[in-house]
Amino acid sequence: MEKFSSFLFKYGSLIVIAIVILFFSLWDEHFFTYANLSDILRSISIVTFVAIGVTFSLTVDGFDLSVGSTVSLTTVVTAAMMVWFEQPLIVVLIVAIAIGALVGLLNALLIVRIRIPDLLATLAVMYIVAGIHKTYTKGYSIYNNMPMPDGSTAPGVFNSSFLWLGQGKIGQIPVPVILMVIAVIVVHLFFKYSKWGRQMQTTGGNEEAARLSGIRVRRIRTAAYVASGVFAAIGGVLFAARVGTGQIDAGAPMMMEAVAAVFVGYSVFGAGKPNVIGTFFGALLIGVLLNGLTMMKVQYYSNDIVKGVVLVLALAVTFIHLNKRRNG
């Protein structure tokens, strides 16, 4: 029984993904086609970037609730820089990444320096950032040729090179999918082979032991929160590039999906801890479920129920197994 339990913990998520894909493929012949599978991967690419950010914060035994608001802020700022101020692509990208890093630094200041608990600090930052982006846009989405408050029309449009990041393809593969795969591989190698990656994992495992071994824990935790903000910002850039507008509250639903993806990933290959490969498979499971339910014509407002159930099951399986491991 113990071996069976370990097997389910190690491969359960992958088995579930395979079963879900098989079920939807039998339900609708259009599900298991290159076009639809490509759409699924494109749709999870943004959530995966956000989830990678959450993975960084959880790796150092923290938690970043502000990633969704960071997505929203970078989405509207990148749109405003092109549509309102006609800035070149390189400036837009640099500013977006800088905003993500600044949000991460703010989180680190509150958590690492002032020592506010992670959940409370990032919750406060989530509200602050959400308020900033709504105040900045006055509650309006940003789009090409939009009317301005003074009666004029916005002078700029979305840069075609920028839109290519979210809508383009290299061969038959969507650009966001390529960027997602590169990010997953790079972050996996970072945690496995780099000094900073290993120190983040050591810090998350036992902060006091990490401190006694000479690791500069404050610096490591700060870096993790900055990375979380940067990856959320990249998610915001890709979202704006995909839809071609700067939508307010674009990142609101992504926080829950990202958290669900990360915790589903705990059980992938029996990791029992945050890991970017597991995070990718967690995002894939959620993406497959939502796509399949859409094809089954399930009402869109039921999707949150599915996300919540997936998160509860992932947490239950993960923590039941981890408690057994600690007690046995």
Asked if residue 244 belongs to a domain, the reply is yes
**Mean pLDDT score across all residues of the chain:** 91
Mean pLDDT of 68-81: 96
Asked if residue 160 belongs to a domain, the reply is yes
Taking phi first (over 0 means left), then psi (-120 to 50 degrees means alpha), and beta for anything else, what does residue 151 get?
left
* DSSP string covering 141-201: -B-TTPBPTTS-B-S----HHHHHHHH-EETTEEHHHHHHHHHHHHHHHHHHH-HHHHHHH
Q: Which two tokens stand for residue 226?
A: 């900055």
Q: How far is CA 320 from CA 9, 158, 308, 312, in A?
A: 10, 48, 18, 12
Asked if residue 203 belongs to a domain, the reply is yes
Structure confidence at residue 2 as a pLDDT band (50, 70, 90): low
Rounded Cα–Cα distance for residues 109 and 105 (Å): 6
Tell me, what's the pLDDT at 5?
A: 67
* End-to-end alpha carbon distance in the chain: 14
Mean pLDDT of 75-98: 96
Asked if residue 135 belongs to a domain, the reply is yes
Tell me, what's the pLDDT at 298?
A: 85
Tell me, what's the pLDDT at 16?
A: 83
Provide the β-strand partners of residue 151. Answer: none
Percent of the chain with pLDDT over 70: 95
- Please tell me the pTM assigned to this model: 0.94
Count of other CB atoms within 10 angstroms of residue 209: 11
Q: Of 246, 51, 35, 36, give the one whose Cα is nearest residue 140.
A: 246
Task: Sort strands 173-174 and 169-170 into parallel, antiparallel or unpaired.
Answer: antiparallel
Number of domains comprising the chain: 1
Provide the β-strand partners of residue 170. Answer: 173
Count of other CB atoms within 10 angstroms of residue 8: 16
Asked if residue 228 belongs to a domain, the reply is yes
Asked if residue 43 belongs to a domain, the reply is yes
Q: Does residue 314 have a pLDDT over 60?
A: yes
Burial of 114 (0-12, 13-18, 19+ CB in 10 A): exposed
Can you tell me whether residue 246 is helix, strand or coil?
A: strand
Tell me the residue range of the domain where 149 lies. 11-327
Tell me, what's the pLDDT at 253?
A: 87
Between the ranges 95-104, 140-149, 304-313, where is the mean pLDDT highest? 95-104
Tell me, what's the pLDDT at 85?
A: 93
Can you tell me whether residue 38 is helix, strand or coil?
A: helix
pLDDT top residue among 129 and 18: 129
CATH code: domain of residue 314: 1.10.3470
Asked if residue 143 belongs to a domain, the reply is yes
Tell me, what's the pLDDT at 151?
A: 83
pLDDT top residue among 47 and 256: 47
Can you tell me whether residue 255 is helix, strand or coil?
A: helix
Q: What are phi and psi of 252, to 5 degrees?
A: -55, -50
Span 190-218, pLDDT tens digits: 999 999 999 999 999 999 999 999 999 99
Asked if residue 120 belongs to a domain, the reply is yes
Span 120-138, pLDDT tens digits: 999 999 999 999 999 999 8
Can you tell me whether residue 296 is helix, strand or coil?
A: coil
Q: Does residue 322 have a pLDDT over 70?
A: no
